[in-house]
């Protein structure tokens, strides 16, 4: 009479062992997936921070050019802030796992080609490089350095989404002096606003943007095309995002 009871106990132990094996396997899978997700998030955050550092380098070079273009010396440099202003240094800047290097080439006609490169170590080490073209406005325009020459297209306006999630630009508004009208806006190589000359926008008018999506960490540029030459400074550039957030950038010039 005890044999059936022993068989039932044996079956119960097998079921318990199977449950333990399944639970252990599931826990292992969850752990591995969690580690991979954590690595993905960390790697993406590293890339976003590297991109921000690279753009900071480009902005610093523009600042150096505006103050004194003679400080833009050909070669490989670092960047540092001294007495509240950017200056070129002999060694690349190291910030935690990131290293930023500035390379400058001097061309003809007061032209500088500068590259801001950020490399980093970590889970998925990599590098990002941004390049900009700079003119010596003091040498080129002399005493009229603050008078921007006539232009019908404002280009090379750097734009980067440093957030960890995508954003959509709903509208763009800029202001300028004169009778020129805004007829087209490009985001990178994509036209996101265009209209006939007869219905082009006046200064200070919001332009609705189509497909103005920037992924997390994405860097691009804005180009604004006018109906006639503008002899002035575009003094305001305002972006409105999908959540109603307003982003401003002041004193943008050709």
Contacts of 163 (CB under 8 A, 6+ apart): 48, 216
According to DSSP, residue 149 is labeled P
Task: Give the span between the Cα atoms of 104 and 115, in whole angstroms.
Answer: 7
Query: So where are the chain's domains?
Result: 1-147, 148-254
Q: Indicate the SS3 state at residue 54.
A: helix
User: Please, what is the Cα angle at 44 between 38 and 49, to 5 degrees?
Assistant: 125
pLDDT value at position 183?
Answer: 94
Backbone angles phi, psi at 247, to 5 degrees: -115, 130
Structure confidence by residue, pLDDT tens digits, 136-147: 655 444 433 333
pLDDT value at position 15?
Answer: 67
Is the pLDDT at 43 greater than 90? The verdict is no
User: Please, what is the Cα angle at 250 between 249 and 254, to 5 degrees?
Assistant: 100
pLDDT value at position 148?
Answer: 43
Query: What is the domain class of 148-254 according to CATH?
Result: mainly beta
Give the H or E element holding residue 175.
strand 167-175
Highest mean pLDDT among 61-75, 86-100, 191-205: 191-205
Residue that has been written with the tokens 């490089």 in this structure: 129
User: Greater confidence, 87 or 27?
Assistant: 87
Is the pLDDT at 55 greater than 80? The verdict is yes
Q: Give the mean model confidence (pLDDT) for residues 20-32.
A: 63
Task: Give the span between the Cα atoms of 87 and 100, in whole angstroms.
Answer: 14
pLDDT value at position 109?
Answer: 62
């Amino acid at each position: 009479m005890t044999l059936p009871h022993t068989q039932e106990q044996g079956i119960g132990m097998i079921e318990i062992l199977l449950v333990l094996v399944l639970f252990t396997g599931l826990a292992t899978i969850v752990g591995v997936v969690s580690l991979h997700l954590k690595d993905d998030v960390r790697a993406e955050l590293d890339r976003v921070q590297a991109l921000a550092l690279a753009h900071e380098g480009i902005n610093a070079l523009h600042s150096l050019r505006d103050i004194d273009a003679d400080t833009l010396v050909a070669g490989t440099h670092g960047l540092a802030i001294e007495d509240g202003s950017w200056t070129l240094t002999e060694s690349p800047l190291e910030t935690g796992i990131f290293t930023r290097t500035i390379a400058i080439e001097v061309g003809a006609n007061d032209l500088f080609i500068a590259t801001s490169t950020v490399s980093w170590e970590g889970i998925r080490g990599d590098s990002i490089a941004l390049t900009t073209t700079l003119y010596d406005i003091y040498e080129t325009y002399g005493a009229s350095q603050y008078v921007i020459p006539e232009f019908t297209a404002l280009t090379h306006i750097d734009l980067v989404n440093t957030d960890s999630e995508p954003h959509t630009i709903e509208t763009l508004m800029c202001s300028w002096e004169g009778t020129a009208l805004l007829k087209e806006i490009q985001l990178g190589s994509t036209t996101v606003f265009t209209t006939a000359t007869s219905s082009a926008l006046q200064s200070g008018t919001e332009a609705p943007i189509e497909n103005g999506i920037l992924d997390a960490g994405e860097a691009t540029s804005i180009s604004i095309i006018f109906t006639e030459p503008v002899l002035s400074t575009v003094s305001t550039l305002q972006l409105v995002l999908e959540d109603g957030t307003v982003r401003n950038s002041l004193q943008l010039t050709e």
